[in-house]
A and B are shown apart, each in its own frame.
Chain A
Amino acid sequence: MELILMLNFGFLEDPADILIFFGRFHPLVVHLPIGFLILAAIAQFASRWPKFQPIQPFLHYLWALGSFSAFLAVLFGYLLSLSGDYDTDTLFWHQWSGIMVLALSLACYLVFKKQGKNAQFVKWSLVVLVAITITYTGHLGGNLTHGQTYLLEYAPNPIRGMAGLPPKKEPRPKVTVLDSADIYLDLVQPMMDGKCVSCHNPGKKKGDLLLTSYSELMKGGENGEVVVVGDAGASELFRRITLPENHDDFMPSEGKRPLTDEEVDIIEFWITAGAFPKGYVTKLDSKKEITETVYTYLGLDKNSIFNQTVDPPNTTLIDSLTDNGFIINRLMRDNYFLDANFSLSERKIARTDLDLLLNLKEQLVWLDLSHSGVTDEHLQKLGQLENLVKLNLSGNVISDNGIQHLSKLAHLESLNLYDTKVSEGLIDLLPKLSRLKSIYLWKTHIGDTLAVRLQEEYKNLTIIYKRETYK
């Protein structure tokens, strides 16, 4: 006890771990007084009915239990508060109303133990006061742990309105293509919501700054505007988030999660570009790096083709393709992307087969035409299968002229040209296949020197141009 009293006067800067350890029992213990005291209050009221009269002599035990557990809760709560992890304003009120609960419940105990000597009025107002303070304390405690907005986050709008909260926001649809990403609505505001609004909201309004909407953001705080349009360096908001983390002015403060490098880059870009309230990222005068940052930030680095939903393929079409020797498989359950394999058909592919295949243009993402007698002429049709992600053309007599038709396959990730006649034509094709991750070129007319040169140029592309042997 002495140690704790010492702490109370600030003799120790850093609370000992053991104190915090006990402090963490607060959430465990704190629900006991809530239950006991509310039970005591209910029992107290109930005992007025003749039916429950017999419990009256025992009621003060309930109050005793309640006040004892309230004492433990206050004690542990105090220890927990030493960790300094909590918002100080709310903590102050939570702490003192918690102590009030303890005092009031003790008073109840004393009053009801010596029955009948106090006025009814005093007794009942004590009971009601206990019930009210415990509710209030509990609510503040909830706010401390879960945040101010937790309770009413999903409340119906009329209820939110009564509590002075803005109506719930309609969530913006998830960005699936870069072209539909809005600089403010999809990028900047979600960052503010995630990292800044917990302090800069109408409830807290640190530095008199609100970051809940564009207009509030641009209005600025107690030291004036925080965003200087077109000049990130002069903007207080940008300065604060780019300071060293241990700097006093660094934001987010109080050890909250800082913004990531990507987020900082995007905010810098937004301010420099003109700090618009909305507008598509790709329409702004953006450099390649920033589009790439946005790309990864929004998790768009996967092939965008799979973000769309395609229609089920026509049954008769599938049947006729199957009859012609294609093996068609669905690639997933929740969408109709398909895999087609002709390599086991034991015959050569014909133009009519490809015409049929073109009807599957939308759904077809994997295609295996290895050893199928594909010629340069066929490739013209194949080049129209724009959604292809994986294409296997190995073992066919195709050459540089033919593969130029593949330049529109913007989603292609894997191209197998093993055992074909292609050579330098690749130099023209590769720049057009921007998503390509792997290409197989063993047994083609591409020499090792060219392959090595291409590999150096396309660092992210895996070029397999020979079969390794043992050293």
Chain B
Amino acid sequence: MGHFNNFMQRPLSRREMLGICKGGFGALAFTSLFGVLPFGCDRPKNSAAETGLSLGPHYMPKAKNIIFLYMDGGVSQVDSFDPKPRLAKENGEDPKKKFKVDATQFDNVGKILKSPWEFKQYGECGMPVSSLFPHIATCVDDIALIRSMTSNFPEHTNANYFLHTGSGIQGRPSMGSWMTYGLGSENKNIPGYVVLDGGLIPPGGLDNFKNGFLPASYQASILRTGVEPVANIKPLERVKNLQEEKLQFIKQLDNSLIGKMGEVDAVESAISNYELAYKMQSSIPELTEFKEESKATKKLYGFDSDDPHTRGYAAQCLLARRLVERGVRFIELTCPKVAADRWDQHSNLRDGHERNAHAVDQPIAGLLKDLKSRGMLEDTLVVWTGEFGRTPFAQGTDGRDHNPSAFSMWMAGAGVKGGTIFGKTDEYGYRVIENEVTIHDLHATIMHLMGINHEQLTFRFGGRDMRLTDVHGHVMKDILA
């Protein structure tokens, strides 16, 4: 067997040796998770070992789960949640005579463009919402709206990385990975971080959902609604025991490899992924069958809609609720592939935004109402956001270009003060003028609601204690209940 040595890893380095001595791979992941202290510092008095429990969140969480409704492409704030009457007054005038116009992506700056949609006030709080979202508008008393979001990037790919990983450059761990790394998953049969694929892969691709430098088991698992939610979920073996025996054999081989090579993340994660995949063969069909769901529930989400995209997104939203019921920590929904591209209307704003809004409006409202009536909104945080906003002036004649200087997003549910509006943009909705909220601030706030101090959840990589918020981020106390 001598020649096999060629395939064996080099002997342990001094650092790896020290690392492993600290207590095995699994324990290593966890100690580095919560216990990392600068060299020479004392460990906290109450260490995890005493109780057999992990240290848990830093402080009492408000939210146990997150549903992240990602509005791919950038919803126009002045057409959705940030009414600007001045646009109607000055419709068709040259924006460059009114205010300083930054270079935009396509630099095809047209005239000031009023919103094609009417705004009305809703709920007890009187929050104005445009006629794009008649259903979400019925939930405003549970929604905390932030009108003063900014992004650092005017282009989809970087802006998506920034929104998802806190860095505009590919390769950092996604926020879902950070959450599951920090808090673990409750369900042993379903991964803790799930992306429900609606049909549109966001620009930047799967790197938006990757684990980056965190252990591989924290990356997102992608689920679709429909016949085969997870690719290759159905066993191919005709005889039932055959698959189990195969898996057992593979595990034996892997374990003997670990015996020779020591604990390696790639092998360990592969083993746990196989085990999880096996369990998912039974847990996933149970999850994605909506038999138990009543007709009224399905109708609430929009299963009876004429629009196939509404039906598709309704299934995603219902699935999201079912995942929360099963203890899944972080669920992201991507957008359906409507006929008019993502929310990225560089032209034909009216048609494109209407199609996109129609697909998601009722399912989202249904989700909020369903969660609330079941008491689940109390510990589930629902986050609705795009990666940036759109310009108040036209691109060409009837589109809007990217605008990272201001956009609107909202949160609802656990720990969030419903019916509040935070932040302010100028009279055109072009720039933030009050209470700017950066993507880092958003991450810090989401983590805060999950009971995590964003400055303390770190992972040592490249010689530095990395954070989701890097060296930035402030918790938005004003929207917390």
Residue-by-residue, is A309-339 near B (CB-CB < 8 Å gives 1, otherwise 0)?
Answer: 0001101001100000001111111101110
Question: Do residues A331 and B60 form an inter-chain contact, with CB atoms below 8 A?
Answer: yes
Beta-carbon contact of A467 and B51 below 8 Å: no
**For residue B34, which residues in chain A have a CB less than 8 angstroms away from its CB?**
333
Does chain B have a CB within 8 A of A223? no
The answer to whether B138 and A330 have CB atoms under 8 Å apart is: no
Contact A344 B52 (CB under 8 A): no
Contact A440 B51 (CB under 8 A): no
Give Cα distance in the complex from A318 to B51, angstroms: 8
Closest residue on chain A to residue B326 by CB atoms: A344
Contact: B53 with A394, CB < 8 Å? no
> In whole Å, how far is B35's beta carbon from the nearest beta carbon of chain A?
10
Chain A: minimal CB distance from B76 (Å): 24
Is there contact, CB below 8 Å, between A468 and B56?
no
Contact status B58-A333, CB under 8 Å: yes
Contact A464–B138 (Cβ < 8 Å) = no
Q: Which of A249-288 contact B (CB under 8 A)?
A: none
CA distance in complex: A394, B296 (Å): 19
Q: Are the C-beta atoms of B375 and A466 separated by less than 8 Å?
A: no
Query: Does residue A375 face the partner (Cβ distance < 8 Å to B)?
Result: no
- Does A332 lie within 8 Å of B60, measured CB to CB? yes
B375 touches A329 (CB 8 A): no
* Chain A residues in 8 Å Cβ range of B59: 332-334
Whether a CB of chain B sits under 8 angstroms from the CB of A97 is: no
Taking a contact as CB atoms under 8 Å apart, the answer to whether B57 and A328 are in contact is: no
B187 is an interface residue with CB less than 8 A from chain A: yes
| CB of B285 within 8 Å of the partner chain | no
Indicate whether A137 reaches chain B with its CB closer than 8 angstroms: no
A414 on the interface (CB 8 Å rule)? yes
A467 pairs with B373, CB closer than 8 A? yes
Residues from chain B with Cβ under 8 Å of A337 in the complex: 60
Chain B residues within an 8 Å CB radius of A332: 56-60, 451
Residue with the greatest number of chain B CB neighbours at <10 A, chosen from A319, A416, A468:
A468
Given contacts A312-B46, A329-B56, A344-B186, contact A336 B374 (CB under 8 A): no
Stretch in contact with the other chain, from B20-28, B259-267, B364-372: B364-372
Q: How far is the CB of A371 from chain B (nearest CB, A)?
A: 9
Task: Looking at the assembled complex, report how far the CB atom of A146 sits from the nearest CB atom of chain B, in whole angstroms.
Answer: 30
Q: Does A61 contact B (CB under 8 A)?
A: no
A312 x B56 contact (CB < 8 A): no
CA of A338 to CA of B300, assembled, Å: 35
Chain A residues with CB below 8 A from B373, complex form:
418, 440, 442, 464, 466-468
Q: Complex Cα distance A344/B296, Å?
A: 25
**Is B50 on the interface with A (CB-CB < 8 A)?**
yes
Contact B375 A331 (CB under 8 A): no
Task: Chain A residues near B375: list those with CB within 8 A.
Answer: 392, 394, 414, 416, 418, 438, 440, 464
**Known interface pairs A319-B52, A392-B375, A467-B373; A331-B61 also in contact (CB < 8 Å):** yes
Bound: A334/B456 CA distance, A? 14
Does B378 belong to the interface (CB within 8 Å)? yes
- B135 interface contact, C-beta 8 A: yes
Residues of B within 8 A of A440 (CB): 373-375
For the complex, give the distance between the alpha carbons of A293 and B55 in Å.
37
* Chain B interfacial residues counted at CB < 8 A: 36
CB within 8 Å for A468 and B369 given contacts A331-B56, A333-B55, A394-B375:
yes
Q: How far is the CA of A318 from the CA of B50 in the complex (A)?
A: 11
Q: Tell whether, in the assembled complex, residue A318 and residue B53 are in contact, meaning their CB atoms are under 8 Å apart.
A: yes
Partner of A333 from the list B50, B56, B369, B370 (CB cut-off 8 Å) is B56
User: Taking A332-B451, A392-B375, A438-B378 as contacts, is the C-beta distance between A468 and B55 under 8 angstroms?
Assistant: no
> Is residue B255 contacting chain A, with contact meaning CB distance below 8 A?
no
> In the complex, which of the residues A306, A313, A414, A440 has the most CB atoms of chain B within 10 Å of its own CB atom?
A440
| With A418-B373, A440-B375 as contacts: A306 and B327 at CB distance below 8 Å | no
Q: Kindly report which residue of chain A lies nearest to residue B379, judged by CB atoms.
A: A390
Judged by a CB distance under 8 angstroms, whether B397 is at the interface is no
Minimal Cβ-Cβ distance residue in B for A322: B52
Q: Are B58 and A464 in touch, CB under 8 angstroms?
A: no
Provide the residues of chain A in CB contact with B184, threshold 8 Å. Answer: 329
Q: Binary interface profile of B, 304-315, with partner A (CB < 8 Å = 1, else 0)?
A: 000000000000
Asked if B221 lies at the interface with its beta carbon under 8 angstroms from chain A, I say no
A315 with B58: CB separation less than 8 A: no
Q: Report the bound CA distance from A54 to B51 in whole Å.
A: 74
Q: Does A471 contact B (CB under 8 A)?
A: yes
Q: Which B residue's beta carbon lies closest to that of A414?
A: B378
* Chain A residues whose CB sits within 8 angstroms of the CB of B369 once the complex forms: 467-469
Q: Which residues of B come within 8 Å of A, CB atoms? A: 34, 44, 46, 50-61, 134-135, 138, 184, 186-187, 296, 300, 325-327, 362, 365, 369-370, 372-375, 378, 451
Extra contacts besides A315-B51, A318-B51, A467-B296 (20): CB < 8 Å = A306-B60, A312-B46, A318-B53, A331-B61, A332-B58, A333-B44, A333-B58, A334-B59, A336-B46, A336-B51, A338-B53, A392-B375, A414-B375, A418-B373, A418-B374, A464-B375, A467-B300, A468-B372, A468-B373, A470-B135
Contact surface of A with B, Cβ cutoff 8 Å = 306, 312-313, 315, 318-319, 327-334, 336-338, 341, 343-344, 392, 394, 414, 416, 418, 438, 440, 442, 464, 466-471
20 sampled A-B residue pairs with Cβ under 8 A: A315-B51, A330-B54, A330-B55, A330-B57, A331-B56, A331-B61, A332-B58, A332-B60, A333-B34, A333-B55, A333-B57, A333-B58, A333-B59, A341-B186, A438-B375, A440-B373, A466-B373, A467-B296, A467-B369, A470-B365
